[in-house]
Each structure stands twice: as structure tokens, then as C-alpha cells.
Structure 1
């Protein structure tokens, strides 16, 4: 009897202590992680401090702010030199000037450009958004397309598609960026704008484009010879039908998707997302995705009234609501794994939302193209906006897009090649591992083996370069910005260096260096998220 009482008492004491024990366990697990993070931040700060010191010293001895005055013929030359020496504190040793600059950094003062008289923080605040606008879209698209094409190339190893992608990747990787930009100006802007004067596609070009489409899609889909011929015929005929429709209706002069196009493409997105993430056999995920397409179709016309007074915060808010609706629909359909349905429905909902957004932007194409400032030549070659053009949110959005399209394509073509090669090599290495053969031996489908077992581990090598590339966004694309007259971080760096203006160059280096250092820390946490064997607190 005493024993049983003791047992119950012990049990009564242990129950309330269980949450406390769990909290202590979580705290013990979090402490090493915080220690690791603090250690990395401290070491990174020391590295950044040393790097800024070296760069400041190099700039101090390499740049001569008095160069233009030394060759001046002004009668008050000596007075001008003396005034600039006092203004820039050139009589103080560079080491002392560095610590003065560093003290200003800790107070938020990055100095002032002696050429323009503007604070460096003001120059950076205008250059960083411009650079992000230019490079962010190209980097994200290049990563997405590069990884996707690399994976397909690995799964179709030693096929015509694989050889073609390999050849194309090496060609694109070898092209000079300035040469690509000039060709895009010539053919992508001037040539396309001339084509819009009479947008008729000759039958010969229709045949060439249709056959090329058939070859590409049959290579991607693969399968038996009969399946490839069916894919080739379907892709060829579909391309011919689309080109005939575009030419016959003058679609390029007044483009739009309409509710039919949104629904048709949305259904294709739903089937594609479900096929990749859950398999078409998962009916709940498929029905959830198709339901989000139906909801998008039902809201197509009501949203046109909402778009009348559109603003950027409103569009971003609608995007968040769109994803939330997709998650809710996936949760409502449920199933043995609600997470799969929720992810598939959310991605499909986002795709349908983007289609509706793009359709609304297309609707102002005709009025935009016929504006006096555009004069029927909508694809721009320089700058980030059309001078003197005013209009609604949609006109301004389309104007930004037409200025972004050429530099974005130029950056995509170069980055796409490297991401394709990285993802192909990584997936091929993973597909030869023992656990992949074990998964196949258990009877899992090739889709499950690829998407759930191989793909995640294939991302680990990419986790090294992707965060660093995203951080490098803020450094700007110097050559591309120069050719397309884009006022971003790259242009700021070149202009300041040519003007012998040290403070803006140091501000540029401080921003890019800090982000690259932080990106290296992010890489460690991404490793830990992708591979459970890796611990950031080790």
C-alpha cells in the first residue's frame, strides 16, 4: 500500500514538472546556437573591420582629390587647393582619418560626397532600391529556371536535351555581358519595336518556331519513341495555333489574357504543381488546387473594380490574402497529409493571382504604347523610367517593366548557365547515393524519390552560392547598369571612383561587405535546415 501511494505521489510530482523540463531542454538547445551565432558575428565584425581598413588605406593612396586642381590654370589655384585640403582633412594621416570615418559609421554618418555635396546615406538610399529593382527579378528567375532546367537535364542524362542544355550553358557562360547587352538593344528593343509597326509573323518563321517548340518539349517530356512523337506533334500544332492567333488578331498591339486565358493557364499550373509535389493520384491536393483556380475565376471581374485605385501596399496585401486563401482551401480538403494539399493550393493560388495581375497590366499596353512619350516604341533601351510620362499605377508599372525587360534578360542569360550546371551536377551526385537506391527498392515512385529524397539534398551545394549571390545583388551589376544607363549601386561605385570620391566608395563597400558577411552566416543555417546531420551549434 505504501508502495502504491509513493508511486502515485511520484507521478503527481512529475506531471507538473514535465513542461518545465521541456522548456529547460529547449533552452539548453538554444544556448549553443546563440553562442555559435554570437561567435560568428564577432569574427565577421573583425573581418569586416580589417577589410574596411585595407580598402580605406588603398583609396587614400590611390585617389588624388587634388588632381584636377594641380593642372588648373586658375589664378587662385593655391587658395583652391588649400580650401579643398582643409575640407577633406588631407593633412591628417590616413590612419587617423579612417578612425574618424569609423566613428561616424557607428553614429550613422557615412560621410559626404565632396563632388556632389550629398550625404553618402542619401546616395545609398536612392541607389540600393534601384539596384534591387534591377537585379532581384533577374536573380530569382535565373535561380528558378536554372535549378529547374538543371534537374530536368540530370533526369534526362545523355539525351539530346541534356547535350543541348550543356552546349547552351557553356555558350551563355562564355558570352561577355557587354556584348549580350548590345545585342539585346539591337534585336530585343530596336528590332521588336520595328516589328510592332506590322506585327505579322511570316509562315517560314511560324514553321521554324513550331518545329523548335516541338523538339524542345519532346526532349523534356521524354519517354518511348511513340510518346516523344506525340509530344512533338502536340507541341508543334499548339505553337502554330498560338502564332496564327497572335498574328490574325493583332494580339501584340492590345494583349490580354482575359478570364479564359487565366482559367486555362491556371488549370495547367494546378496540374503541374500537383504532379510535381503530390502526384496526380493525390485527389485531395488536385481538387484543392483546382478549387483555388475556380475561386480566382469567380473573383476575376470583382477584382477589376478593386484595381481601379490600386497601390503597391494594396497589391502586396492582396498577394498575402491570396496565399492565405490557398492554404485555407488546402486545409479544408485535408487528407492524410494536409501539408501537401495546403502547399499545392497555395502555390496554385499565387500563380492564378499573378496571372490576374499580369492581365491587368496588359490592359494598359495599347494606351501606353500610343502615348506621345512612347510613340509606338514601348521597349526602352536606357534608363529606369520614361521622362514626362504620367498615369495610373498600372501605366507606371508597365513603364517600369518595359525598362527592366532588357537588362533583366541580359543578367538572366549569364547567371542561368551557372545555376544549371550546379544543379545538374549536384542532382546527379545525389541520385547515385545508396539511400536513393534503397528508396527505389522499397517501391517508391520515381517522382517521390526525386522530389522528396533527392531534391532536398541536391540543394545543399546550391545553398553555398545562392545566399552569396542574393547578397551581391546590392553590389549592383556594374557593366549592365553602365550600358542601360541605370542609376544603381554599380553606377554609384564607378562614378565615385572616377570622381576620386572616397566616402561613397567606402559606403558602397560597407553595404556590400556587410551583406556578404551576413550571407555566409545564413549559409550555415541553411545547411542545418537542409541536412539534419549538420548542427550550427557544433
Structure 2
């Protein structure tokens, strides 16, 4: 393992050195017109003196190769340079941009992978069904949509339209019925089976959707949104059954009881934990509480035991994390009325630009809520586009895996279909995705340039674009080095994931 990583790191450093040299030459040539653009358009009588002075200040008369090695020497010693137009250090610019981009990328990638892989696998298992054709159609439509167009539509309907709706949040019976029919039809197509089974699933989906929307309407949820112990209990119980079905199957009663016990514990501590959450004023404490929550879930799983204690612990830990996340979201939502009434928000809580509201004020929870509202639209934009790709990849991979001989052998041995799909099919479906997901993550860490530009989110992509058009080589080169280094790391991580997913692969071979 150590030998493999050492070789890959050395090869990566050599690649990084060559790529930075090539990029420095190309960027130097590309940004030169932008450096003097303002002076060339100037009518000042000493224009030539100003041009000569800027040339001297930026050392542009020195050979580009020599300038590269000067830059490289400064870079490896920790001096990333300065953005000469603003006078800010590149380190400070990168710090804010990296945090903004990571916030966006983390949420978008996790959601896109989860929903994309899940829908793709279901589509493959329902090959040539109506759900399969619908999934293919929607995936191709989303994949072909321009990112800027999706972002603009989200601004119009997700921000302006929703903010207008909040002035008088009333859903008509017709709207509730249409939503119920759409959701019920989608679930019936996903589950498939006989006509009787489809009608039953459709009825349950329709009823659940209609009841949920009616509850939101009649309880005044739009003015004071919350989850509360009742919703957490009902949703947690549903998640416990779903997670147990995926992890071990519902026949493993110990795993199911461990997950349900975790939900009960979460509901019981809902009110006492509020006093603890009032003391939280930074993300480090949130992380500590998350670790404690997962540890409690693992402990409950081992306490229930069963034929495989690890399976029970895994199911309970996942359930504990999700229940804890709902309690955290509920705490954030408790500050919605105060957030909505703030003068800086002016009863229009869904913003269209930036990553925070100027002059908002408030405690930690208000600031978290403000960050979430600013993340909402750009995250949805990225999720829609990424979702299409992951759906297509996972569907194609699952179809290929399910046609293999070892799948037929597993079925011939009499293994349950859930075991065949989840343990033998799903695991091997993830192998091709192990290449795609790390590279996509690194690509997005480089900045979703179009999305960040439309939403004016000060991330890595917008920093690169502004620096390039501003003729500032130091921020551009720092950006390129970070992206190139992360791309090399992503390839190493992909190889390690291969080895974890496929026992036939050995990184020390």
C-alpha cells in the first residue's frame, strides 16, 4: 500500500510540475491583453508612462520561463502571490472561495449521487417498463439542459415565485390533488408488479401526499415551518424500515428493532436536547454531537445483537444519523419566523445571489438558516444536472452486472432477490462509479463556474473567472494548481476505492 501510494504521489508531483509550467506559459499569453485593457482605452497624456510602469511592476519584461521559476519558488515556500488590482493576498482570496465552493459541492454531490444511483438502479431493475422509459427521457432532458438556463428558471420560479407564494401561502384542492396523483403514479411505476399492487401503491402515495399537503396548509406550516417530535417519529420509523430492508432485509428482526429503538431514543431526547442545542454556537460542537449520535446508534445496534451484530449496528447508526439530522433541521427551522421578519430579509427569504445576507445579524442558528437559503437554488441547479449523469451511469452499470453469470448462480442457489441485488449486484455496480464520482467532485471543487456566475456566489469558479479577465496571474495559477493537485488525488482515491469494492484488485500488486 505504502509503495503504491508513494509511486503515485511521485508521478503526480512530476505531472503537476509539467502541467503548471505549460499553464503558466498559456495563462501569461492569454491575460496580457487584459492587463493593459484599461490603460489602452485611457485618454491620459502620460498613458505610455503608465503602461511602462505597470510593465515594470508586474515584471513583464522578464522572460516568461524565468518568471515561472520565480513564481514556483515563491509558491513552494508558501507565498501564493497577490492580486495586484485589489492588493489582496491570494491566500485570503482562496480561503473564502474554497469554503463557499465546498459548501455548495458537498450538498450537491451527496444528493445527486444518492438520488441518481437509487433511481438508476430501480430503472435498471424495471428495464423496458414505463418507469424505465420515463427515467431515460428525464435524464436525457436534464443532461442536455444548459446550466445557465436551469439557473435562471430557478431564480424565476424557485426564488421570485416562491417568495410571492409566501405572501399568501394557500394551496388549492386542485393543486393538492394533482400533486397526489403525480406522486402516487410515480411510486406505482417505480414499484411495478401486478395491477392490484400498482393500484395499492398509487393509493398509498396519493393519500400520503394529500394528507401531508393538507397538514402543511391547515397547520400554518408555511409561516412557522417545523418538524417536531411527531413528524420525526413517523419519518424516522419509515426510514428505519427502509434502511433495514436495504442493509439486512426485514427478516433480520434484531436489525429492525435496533433501528426502531434508535428512533424511539431520538424522539425521547427531542425536548431535553433543545437545551443543549441552545448552547451551540459553532460547527465544531455540531460535529461533536453528530459523532455522539452515531456512536449511540452503534451502541444500540450491538446491544440488540443478532446473527450479525455489525449489520444491526450499521442499520442503527445510519438511522441515528438521519434522525439526528432531522432534529438539527428542526432546530434551524425554529428560527424561520425571526429570519423572515428581519429587515434585511424583508419577507423574501429565498435569495438569488451571494452566499450570505449583508447586515443580517442574529445568532449561530440564524446564520446557518441564511447559509441554507443561499445554498438552496445553486444546489438544486447542480443536483438536476448531476442527477442525470449518475442515473445513466448507474443504470447502464446495473444492467451489465445483472446479466453476469455470478448473478444467475446466486439466484440458482436460492438466495433472496434483495440479497442478489444489494450484496452481489449493487456492490459491483459501484465500481464504474468509483471513477466518475471522485473526478466529478474535484471538477466541482474547481468551481461550478456557470452556476456561481449566475448566482453571484463567490466560489472558486467565480474567482478564476474574475482573475482571468482581470489579468491577475497569481490567483489563476493558484486555482489551477489546486484543481490539478486535487485531480491527481482523485485518481489515487479512485484506485483505492476499486480495491475496497473489488477483492480481485490489489493496490500493492
Kept in 2, the 8 Å contact 1:330–1:342? The answer is: yes
Partner of 1:17: none
Partner of 1:38: 6
Partner of 1:88: 58
The 1-side partners of 2:213 and 2:41 are apart by 63
Kept in 2, the 8 Å contact 1:331–1:339? The answer is: yes
Partner of 2:248: 278
Q: Structure 1 residue 172: deviation in Å?
A: 0.4
Partner of 1:290: 260
Kept in 2, the 8 Å contact 1:136–1:473? The answer is: no
List alignment gaps of at least 5 residues for structure 1. Answer: 1-32
The C-alpha deviation readout for 1:346-375, integer Å capped at 9, x for no partner, is: 000001101111111111112211222212
Kept in 2, the 8 Å contact 1:474–1:511? The answer is: no
List alignment gaps of at least 5 residues for structure 2. Answer: none
Kept in 2, the 8 Å contact 1:373–1:389? The answer is: yes
The 1-side partners of 2:131 and 2:304 are apart by 38
Q: Structure 1 residue 36: deviation in Å?
A: 2.1
Q: Please, which of 383, 399, 405 is the counterpart of residue 412 of structure 1?
A: 383
Kept in 2, the 8 Å contact 1:361–1:397? The answer is: yes
SS in 2 for 1:196: helix
The C-alpha deviation readout for 1:213-240, integer Å capped at 9, x for no partner, is: 1101111222221111011111112211
Q: Structure 1 residue 498: deviation in Å?
A: 0.7
CA RMSD between the two structures: 1.1
SS in 2 for 1:68: helix
Kept in 1, the 8 Å contact 2:31–2:469? The answer is: no
Q: Structure 1 residue 431: deviation in Å?
A: 0.5
Kept in 2, the 8 Å contact 1:188–1:406? The answer is: yes
- More deviation in 242-251 or 508-517? 242-251
Matched, 1:423 2:394: yes
Partner of 1:57: 25
Q: Structure 1 residue 73: deviation in Å?
A: 2.4
SS in 1 for 2:250: coil
Partner of 1:493: 464
The 2-side partners of 1:237 and 1:129 are apart by 42
The C-alpha deviation readout for 1:375-413, integer Å capped at 9, x for no partner, is: 211111111111111112111111111111011101100
Partner of 2:351: 380
Q: Please, which of 69, 72, 75 is the counterpart of residue 45 of structure 2?
A: 75
The residue correspondences of 1:176-191 to structure 2 (distance < 5 A) are 176-191=146-161
The 1-side partners of 2:331 and 2:368 are apart by 10
Rg bigger for which structure?
1
Q: Structure 1 residue 62: deviation in Å?
A: 2.1
Matched, 1:101 2:81: no
Partner of 2:490: 519
Partner of 2:372: 401
TM-score, with length taken from structure 1? 0.92
Kept in 1, the 8 Å contact 2:105–2:441? The answer is: no
The residue correspondences of 1:441-480 to structure 2 (distance < 5 A) are 441-480=412-451
Q: Structure 1 residue 38: deviation in Å?
A: 1.7
Q: Structure 1 residue 249: deviation in Å?
A: 2.2
The 1-side partners of 2:129 and 2:64 are apart by 60
